[in-house]
Amino acid sequence: MGRTGGRLGTAPTILALLLCPGFAWSAEYLVHDAAGYAAAAKGLEPGDTVVLADGIWRDMDLLLTGTGTIGQPIRLTAQTPGKVILSGQSQLRLAGAYLEVSNLVFRDGWAPGGEVVSFRSSSKAWAEHSRVTGIVIDGYSKPDRAQSDNWVAMYGRFNRFDHNQLVGKTNAGTTLVVVRNATSGLDNRHRIDHNWFGPRPNLGSNGGETIRVGTSHDSQSASNTVVENNWFEHCDGEVEIVSNKSGGNLYRGNVFKESRGSMVLRHGHGNVVERNVFLGNGKAHTGGVRVINRDQIVRDNYFEGVAGDGFAAALAVMAGTRDAPLNRYEQVDNALIRHNSFVQARYLFLGAGLDEERNAMPVRSRLADNLFVGDGSGELLRTQGDLSGIAFSGNVQSPTASPGFPNGVQGRSLTLQRAANGLLYPPAGIEVGAPRDLAPVPREQVGVAWYPKQLTRTALDSGREQRVAPGEDTLVTAVAASAAGDRLQLQAGDYRISQVLAVDHPLSVVGPAKGKATLRFSRPSLFEIRPGGSLRLAGLDIDGSLAPDAAGNAVIRVPPGSQAFDYTLDIADSRIHDLSSNKAFDVINTGKGTFAASIRLQGVTVRDISGSVIAAAAETDDLGTYNAETVDIVDSVFQRIDGPLVNLYRGGTDESTFGPAFQLRGSRLEQVGNAGDTSLRLHGVQQASLSDTTWLRSGRVRFTHQTGEPTLRLRNTTFTATAALQSDLPAETLP
């Protein structure tokens, strides 16, 4: 530890400084370990700075306390930006006034408690007038996705969180939360600006917001927090990217790029959403703004290529509940939605969520001077209930006004032109939609310049190709020696596998172009997907006849509690057979606590198995947790399957997720569901499509509604000597 100061000069100069009102000495401490930090952090004075030496600081509890002054905060920083890595079980806490922390990186670990960065040290000591800037939190997630924490928790008042990068949160809990209470302050007046909120994968349950300001409990008071000039890029955690749960907040100048979900005014009154840019680029479930409660203002915003529907529509104005309790949907009252551009949008939804409980339609509200342009995929406007409480004036829709719009929306064919700011506008003189001086904050002006703005992820087949010869455990050796993205190219012949093949990185196993590669395994599973793993199988013959007669056998197993998350599983042009040595031998079995981004079977033939082809029904909670976001089966054949082809389950009535989604196309099922009279079980699935598929002497299809507005679409489906369809919702039969 060392102490350094500025150059003091001559004795008269020193005397003059000492006599100068407000003069204070300042010190800088360079520290190299936890003991040095603890010593330096005691008794810090205004203007003092503690510098962490470059290197990896493991299991650090960084507590910065003290009282600085305006212009002379107490600082904690890195010796070199980006060269101080907080790893293991590290955390940062601030308590006091006029504190500033900068240029640290949290990586390769997770917080020991509920917060990585906290603007308090305890329930009785918090920060005010303090700043955290230039911080990077990169994948610093608890390994159990169900174990919740908040990466940043802002307590107190008048604090600022700016120019930071937060990327890759994979466990439950909000990325950044403003925590409000009567002790540390309800009128917070925080500023959250110029941050890069990078990719956050779909959580597959409730609890994946990027920002939340307040809670339903304290929502009737004003926080007066400003969230401005941030980027939200691929923030896909759940349906609410930003969950506003307090009043008086300002959301201004933010960019939402290809993020699934919406800016949601969930609770609280008198909030303003202005001059934001939403760029969906046609990505599914990209949303805009959802309006609930009283006195909300949504103005001067730009939405382009936003492809969400339902609650994630480009604009969703909700139906509410009369005399709503704090945790439900209040009626929309006195909303102003003005001068917004909705360009190449899929849907606007007015009266969203109308049901027996939510039956209070918007009142005393206005939609004025907006520009509406659909994406051409269908009618832009969707309405429910009585919209007489919304006054429309000066709006323009191109080329024609949608049926359902009242007077106040003019149909007019417009040719939009892209301006210097990158946004599309109607010809000069037509002054509707977003303002022409809208200037989205550049990506390079958010976050930090010294750390990459990306989520590092290795793609399948992006590594080297390794040839594998047939024989005893040759594939075992090859898998053990493989690296992320590698492709194992198998030659024709027999492969005997005596060990479970653990997959903890993206890996492809591909059969020969000519001849057949047969995999015979003598363990309960052939492959086991672990955290970090993804798997592609193609052109293989998989024979389960040598597997032991043990309960829970599966060709591909994702073990419960393994925390395998956001993985991809792809099987193509392969034959899987003779999985009949016990009562429940599955092809794919996903365990509790695991989550697949995608499971896809294409050109697959499966015969003679005693379990299910895909068993993805391990979750039982009421938070809407499920095991696979999308399941696609295309151009495949299934014969003599005792269990359901697919058992896909999502429980609960929570409305915070988009999935699961299921597709079965161009396939044939023969004697599927022999053991339980069910060939396909879809429980709580949000989107299901069955097309160009034949069922022959198979069990029934069971589709059970759970929450939201699920769809079941049928096209060219044939049921022969089969129990056909059992659904608690009507199916949509397409021509």
Assigned token pair, 229 = 């000039």
In the predicted model, what is the mean pLDDT of residues 273-282?
98
- Region 424-450: what's the mean pLDDT? 96
Is the Cβ–Cβ distance between 698 and 667 less than 8 Å? Answer: no
| Four-residue CA torsion sign, 276, 282, 286, 287 | positive
Phi and psi angles of residue 231, each rounded to the nearest 5 degrees, phi first? -110, 135
Strands 28-31 and 2-4: antiparallel
Share of the chain above pLDDT 90, in %: 86
34 DSSP assignment = H
* Secondary structure E strands in 157-276: 160-162, 165-167, 176-178, 191-193, 196-197, 211-213, 226-228, 231-233, 240-245, 250-252, 255-257, 261-267, 272-274
Q: Is 80 exceeded by the pLDDT of residue 466?
A: yes
Q: How many CA atoms lie within 13 A of 710 on its CB side?
A: 27
Token output for 378: 């269908």
Instruction: Return the bridge partners of 680, or none.
Output: 646, 701
Which of 310, 163, 139, 323 has its CA nearest to residue 231? 163
pLDDT value for 434? 98
Phi and psi torsions of 387, nearest 5°:
-100, 20
- Residue type, position 496, single letter: R
Average pLDDT over every residue of 593-613: 97
Dihedral angle sign, alpha carbons of residues 650, 653, 658, 664: positive
Question: Residue 400 pLDDT > 60, yes or no?
Answer: yes
Whether residue 356 contacts residue 380, with contact meaning beta carbons closer than 8 Å, is answered with no
Which among 170, 153, 310, 308 has a CA at the least distance from the CA of 237? 170
Residue pair 150/180 in contact by the 8 Å Cβ criterion = no
* pLDDT for position 24: 59
The kind and range of the H/E element at 115 are strand 115-118
| Mean pLDDT (whole number) for 77-93 | 98
Q: How sure is the predictor about 10, in pLDDT bands with cuts at 50, 70 and 90? A: very low
The mean pLDDT of 417-435, rounded to a whole number, is 96
- pLDDT on residue 644: 96
pLDDT of residue 655: 86
- pLDDT of 706 reads 82
d(CA 324, CA 664): 41
Largest CA distance in the chain: 105
- Per-residue pLDDT of 235-268, as tens digits, reads 999 999 999 999 999 999 999 999 999 999 999 9
pLDDT digits (tens, 9 = 90+) for 519-539: 999 999 999 999 999 999 999
- What average pLDDT does the structure give for the chain? 93
Q: Cite the beta strand spans of 330-389 per DSSP E.
A: 336-338, 341-345, 348-352, 365-368, 371-374, 381-383
Copy the structure tokens of residue 381. 């406007």
End-to-end distance of the chain based on CA atoms, in angstroms? 77
Q: What is the predicted pLDDT for the residue at 8?
A: 31
pLDDT of amino acid 13: 38
Higher pLDDT among residues 549 and 715, named by residue: 715
**3-class DSSP state for residue 215?**
coil
Concatenate the DSSP letters of all residues of 185-203 into one string: BSS---EEES-EE--B---
What's phi and psi for 462, nearest 5 deg? -100, -5
Bigger pLDDT: 407 vs 447: 447
What's CA 630's distance to the chain center, in Å?
15
pLDDT at 675 over 90: no
For residue 18, give the 3-state DSSP assignment: helix
Q: CA dist 518 to 33, 486, 676, Å? A: 56, 20, 31
β strands within 637-686, DSSP E:
637-641, 646-649, 661-665, 668-672, 678-683
Distance CA 529, CA 540 (A): 18
pLDDT for residue 176 is more than 80? yes
The residues, any chain, with a CB within 8 Å of residue 458's CB and separated by 6 or more, are: 484, 485, 505, 506
Other CB atoms within 10 Å distance of the CB of residue 315? 27
| Displacement of CA 385 from its chain's centroid (Å) | 31
CB 160 within 8 A of CB 193: yes
Q: What is the mean pLDDT of residues 570-591?
A: 92
Nearest to 555 by CA among 511, 518, 586: 586
Q: What is the pLDDT of residue 77?
A: 98
List the structure tokens of 669.
């099922």
pLDDT at 579: 92
- Cβ contacts of 195 within 8 Å, gap of 6 or more: 161, 162, 163, 164, 165, 166, 176, 230, 231, 446, 447
**Cβ 557 vs Cβ 525: under 8 Å:** yes
Dump pLDDT digits (tens) for 114-134: 999 999 999 999 999 999 999
